[in-house]
């Protein structure tokens, strides 16, 4: 545990120095107060960068720690004293489960809050923020309410060629059309320009209203347009589940991204236990290369694990692979490898 936390904090310190060197020009140009840089950005940057690679550091810590024990003949002494190999695994599994529980809590509850605060800071001072324009937007806000927009710009929150229809029992009850649509953040309303609003009064009569400018309270807000795959990271799992249900209703094309992120929050921490078992099985016998060779093999294996995780996630979000299978596939494969290595390890 001490090896893990020492290595992790050392890496996080290096990551902060690199990040400062990349963003120092933006900090100076925007005249950002030092207090905001520390407490609004780097306080939330630490858990984000730390949790990103924590499973790797657990893996490397076990390799380094156990390799030292092996090279000092401590493992031989324990087995000679009739301690079974599986009894020796107990503290490793206990520590791995403890860290996994910590990572799970962070991933599902606390990390999204930190990522949200970090993104708020970046958006406020326009640091590494890419604005996007979305085309041909279709979604439902309710079972009978349909919205269409030809184009929506995230930067100025302006939409073009807007239409909203309310249809019940195959009958059009309400329709609003506008050439342009502006989001009014202060009043939480939309401003329609060059609009036409049609309402059904009774079976024989409709009312039609036209004009140049009108403010309306509509059943959606600007943020719903650009809650793209990047914004899923700012929602805790409970909020993400609710968001997924809303996106299902809208018929969103990004559902696979949201599901993949949801399952990944559990799969990666659980991978810590699997990587720990592999690391122990790899390092409990002496080899001529010593600790250095074990570390090289460990880095290669960790790289393969995360590369596989990345590939399977891409296939599940952009291909035909189910997101749950895609995110758990590396754990399944490496779980089998861990079982084989444990069974074949010198006892």
pLDDT band at 187 (very low <50, low <70, confident <90, very high): confident
User: Which pLDDT value is given to residue 209?
Assistant: 92
Residues 6+ apart with CB under 8 A from 7: 57, 60, 61
Tens of pLDDT, residue by residue over 306-321, are 889 888 888 888 888 8
pLDDT band at 227 (very low <50, low <70, confident <90, very high): low
Q: Which residue from 209, 172, 174 is spatially nearest to 192, judged by alpha carbons?
A: 209
Task: Tell which wins on pLDDT, 252 or 221.
Answer: 221
pLDDT of 267 above 80? yes
User: Which pLDDT value is given to residue 128?
Assistant: 67
Tens of pLDDT, residue by residue over 25-34, are 888 888 889 8
Q: What average pLDDT score do residues 166-170 get?
A: 88
Q: Which residue from 157, 161, 210, 165 is spatially nearest to 188, judged by alpha carbons?
A: 157
Lowest mean pLDDT among 8-22, 209-223, 288-302: 288-302
Report which DSSP code applies to 108.
I
> Side by side, which strands form the sheet with 171-184?
133-142, 145-153, 158-168, 171-184, 189-200, 206-216
Tens of pLDDT, residue by residue over 104-151, are 999 998 889 898 888 888 878 877 665 567 778 887 877 888 888 888
pLDDT of 328 above 80? yes
Q: What is the C-alpha separation between 218 and 112, in angstroms, rounded?
A: 28
Tens of pLDDT, residue by residue over 74-92, are 888 888 888 888 899 999 9
Neighbours of 165 (CB within 10 A): 16
pLDDT of 202 above 90? no
Rg of the chain over all Cα atoms, to the nearest angstrom = 27
Q: What average pLDDT score do residues 256-264 get?
A: 90
pLDDT of 195 above 90? yes
Q: What is the C-alpha separation between 69 and 260, in angstroms, rounded?
A: 39
CA distances from 111 to 22, 51, 75, 216, 255 (A): 23, 8, 38, 36, 21
Task: Tell which wins on pLDDT, 186 or 212.
Answer: 212
pLDDT of 174 above 60? yes
Residues 6+ apart with CB under 8 A from 150: 135, 136, 137, 159, 160, 161, 162
Neighbours of 75 (CB within 10 A): 22
User: Which pLDDT value is given to residue 230?
Assistant: 62
pLDDT band at 211 (very low <50, low <70, confident <90, very high): very high
Q: Which residue from 208, 130, 193, 187 is spatially nearest to 160, judged by alpha carbons?
A: 193
Residues 6+ apart with CB under 8 A from 160: 149, 150, 151, 152, 179, 180, 181
User: Which pLDDT value is given to residue 191?
Assistant: 93
User: Which pLDDT value is given to residue 225?
Assistant: 65
CB 309 within 8 A of CB 265: no
Q: What average pLDDT score do residues 224-239 get?
A: 74
**φ and ψ at residue 139, rounded to 5 degrees:** -160, 165
User: Which pLDDT value is given to residue 62?
Assistant: 92
Q: What is the C-alpha separation between 316 and 322, in angstroms, rounded?
A: 5
State in Å, rounded, how far the first CA of the chain is from the last one: 24
Global pTM reads: 0.77
Q: What is the C-alpha separation between 130 and 132, in angstroms, rounded?
A: 6
Tens of pLDDT, residue by residue over 271-311, are 999 999 999 988 887 777 677 788 888 888 888 988 898 88
Of 7-16, 94-103, 238-247, 305-314, highest mean pLDDT: 94-103
CB 157 within 8 A of CB 133: no
Q: What is the C-alpha separation between 7 and 9, in angstroms, rounded?
A: 6
pLDDT of 163 above 80? yes
Report which DSSP code applies to 201.
-
3-state secondary structure of 244: helix
Q: What is the C-alpha separation between 15 and 284, in angstroms, rounded?
A: 32
Report which DSSP code applies to 130.
-
Cβ-count burial of 176 within 10 angstroms (0-12 exposed, 13-18 middle, 19+ buried)?
buried
Q: Which residue bears the tokens 């009978």?
A: 144
User: Which pLDDT value is given to residue 30?
Assistant: 84
């Amino acid at each position: 545990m001490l090896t893990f936390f020492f290595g992790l904090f050392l890496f996080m310190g290096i990551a902060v120095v690199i990040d400062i060197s990349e963003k120092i020009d933006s900090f100076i140009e925007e005249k950002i107060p030092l207090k905001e840089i520390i407490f609004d950005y780097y306080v939330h940057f630490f858990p984000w960068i730390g949790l990103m690679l924590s499973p790797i550091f657990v893996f490397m810590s076990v390799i380094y720690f156990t390799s030292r024990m092996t090279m000092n003949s401590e493992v031989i002494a324990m087995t000679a004293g009739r301690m079974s190999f599986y009894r020796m695994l107990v503290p490793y599994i206990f520590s791995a489960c403890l860290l996994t529980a910590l990572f799970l809590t962070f991933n599902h509850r606390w990390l999204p809050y930190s990522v949200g605060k970090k993104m708020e800071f970046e958006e406020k001072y326009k640091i590494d923020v890419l604005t996007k324009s979305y085309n041909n937007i279709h979604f439902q806000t309710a079972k009978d309410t349909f919205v269409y927009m030809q184009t929506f710009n995230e930067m100025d929150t302006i939409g073009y060629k807007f239409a909203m229809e309310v249809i019940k029992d195959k009958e059009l009850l309400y329709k609003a059309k506008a050439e342009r649509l502006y989001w009014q953040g202060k009043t939480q309303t939309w401003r329609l320009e060059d609009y036409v609003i049609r309402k059904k009064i009774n079976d024989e009569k409709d009312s039609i209203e036209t004009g140049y400018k009108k403010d309306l309270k509509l059943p959606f807000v600007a943020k719903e347009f650009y809650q793209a795959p990047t914004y899923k990271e700012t929602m805790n799992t409970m909020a993400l589940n609710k968001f997924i249900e809303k996106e299902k209703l809208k018929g969103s094309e990004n559902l696979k991204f949201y599901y993949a992120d949801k399952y990944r929050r559990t799969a990666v921490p659980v991978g810590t236990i699997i990587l720990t078992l592999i690391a122990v099985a790899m390092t409990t016998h002496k080899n001529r290369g010593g600790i250095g060779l074990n570390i090289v093999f460990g880095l290669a294996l960790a790289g393969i694990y995360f590369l596989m995780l990345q590939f399977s996630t891409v296939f599940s979000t952009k291909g035909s692979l189910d997101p749950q299978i895609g995110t758990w596939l590396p754990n399944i494969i490496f779980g089998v490898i861990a079982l084989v290595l444990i069974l074949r390890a010198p006892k």
